[in-house]
Amino acid sequence: MTTDTAHAGTIMHVDLAALQNNYRKLAQMSLPAECGAAIKANAYGLGMEQCATALWAAGCRIFFVALVDEAIDLRKTLPDAVIYILNGLMPGTAGITAEANARPSLSSLDEIAEWAELCTSRGTRLPAAIHIETGMNRVGLTVSDIDTLHTHPDLLDQFELTLIVSHLANGEIPGDVMNARQLEQFNHLRSLLPNAPASIANSPGIFNGSAFGFDLTRPGIALYGGNPGAENSKNPMQPVVRLLGTISQVRTVPKGETIGYGGTWQAKQDSKIAVVSAGYADGYPRALSSMPDLPDTRVWIDGFFAPVIGRISMDMITVDVTAIPVEIGHRGDHVELLGPHVTIDEIAARAGTISYEILTGLGSRATRMYSCDHIKSED
C-alpha cells in the first residue's frame, strides 16, 4: 500500500474530529449512563489504533471488541482502558484473555465454568460480563441457564461480575414491540442475578429513550457516521469516512459502443467516460454495477454527480461524465465514491446491504489519511 497520495488509486480520509463529535453527542444522549465504544473489526474498518486513540482523547474509557486477538491489539494502544470481548470466551482462551486484562462476555454455563476455573487456579476474582438472551437467539444465557445460576449462586462466586449485557434485535425501529419485549425480559432475568451494571443499548438503542440506557451504552455504527435509525430516516451523525478514487483516463466512446465486462451498458450518444482506479478490491461493491431495473450509483466530482456505468471490476469503475462541465473530471482528478455527498447509507441501500458491511469491507489497498489537527483530550 502506497503512503503517497500522488501514487494512490484510492484514498480513504478518516475524520477523527468527526468521530469524536459523534462520540460526544452519543455520550450526552446516554446520560446518566456512561457511553462506551464498539471498536471491533478494526474500528468498523477505519483503523482501531487511530480511532481508539481519538475516542480515548474524547473521554471514552470502556471499549468493546469481538475477539481476544482484537483485545490484545487494543491493549497495546490503550493500556488503561476497560475492554470487553463480546463474542465471549472461546475454548482454551481464558489464560490469554486474562493476560490481555480483558473481560469476556460470558454467554454459556460452559464459559462461566472455564472463567471460574481460571480464577480459582490463580486465586483471584477476575472481572467478566454475563450476556443474557432476550430475543436475538444467537449467544447468551437462556432462561434455563439463569435459573441454574439463580439456584446455584456459588457458580458466580469465583469471579467479579462487572456487567450484564443483552442486544436489541430491532433497535433501529423505535417503538417496535420487540424492543419492549426484550426490555421486559432483560429486567426480569437480571433481577435473578447478582446486582451489577447493565447494558442493552447499541447505537440504535440509544435513540430508543432513557429506559434502554441503564448504566452503559455501547454505540458502534453511529460513531463512524452510519445512520443508527431506520432506512430513509434522517442521519443525525457526522460523516467520518470519505473514499476517493483517482481518474486514470478520460475517453470518448461512440454511440452504440458498450462498456466493460458483459457489455451491460451501451452508449445512447457519443459519450465521455472517466475510468476511475477503484473497484471491489478496494471495498467498492460489485453490486453497485449499473442495472436496468435499479437507479444509477452516483459519484461526486467537484460539485457534480455523475453515474457509474457498466460493471464494477476488481480495479476499475467507469463513470459517465458527458454531462458535467468540461473543466472538471480530468486525468488525475479525484472522485468521491463515498463520503458526505455519497453517503455510506446511500451506497449500502443501492448495493442491497447495510452500512456496517460497507465500512468493514473497505479494502486495505487505499492510502489512509487521518485528520487529527482538532483532536482535544478530555483529560
Q: Provide the CA 238 distance to its chain's centre, in angstroms.
A: 14
Which entry of 40, 272, 280, 284 is annotated as an active-site residue?
A: 40
Angular region, 267: left φ>0, alpha ψ -120 to 50, beta rest: beta
Q: Residue 84 catalytic?
A: no
CB atoms within 10 A of CB 162: 16
Is 280 among the catalytic positions? no
- Residue in 224, 234, 255, 261 annotated catalytic: 261
The distance in angstroms from the start CA to the end CA of the chain is 35
Amino acid letter, 372: C
- Name beta bridge partners: 368: 12
Q: Which residues sit opposite 298 in a β-bridge?
A: 307
CB 132 within 8 Å of CB 146: yes
Rounded distance between C-alpha atoms, residue 19 and residue 256, angstroms: 46
C-alpha cell at 351: 448495493
Q: Tell me how crowded residue 145 is: count the other CB atoms within 10 A of its CB.
A: 19
DSSP 20-77: HHHHHHHHHHHTTSEE-EE-HHHHHTT-HHHHHHHHHHTT--EEEESSHHHHHHHHHH
C-alpha cell at 291: 442495472
Q: HSE on the CB side for 269, CA within 13 Å? A: 6
- Which residues belong to the active site? 40, 261
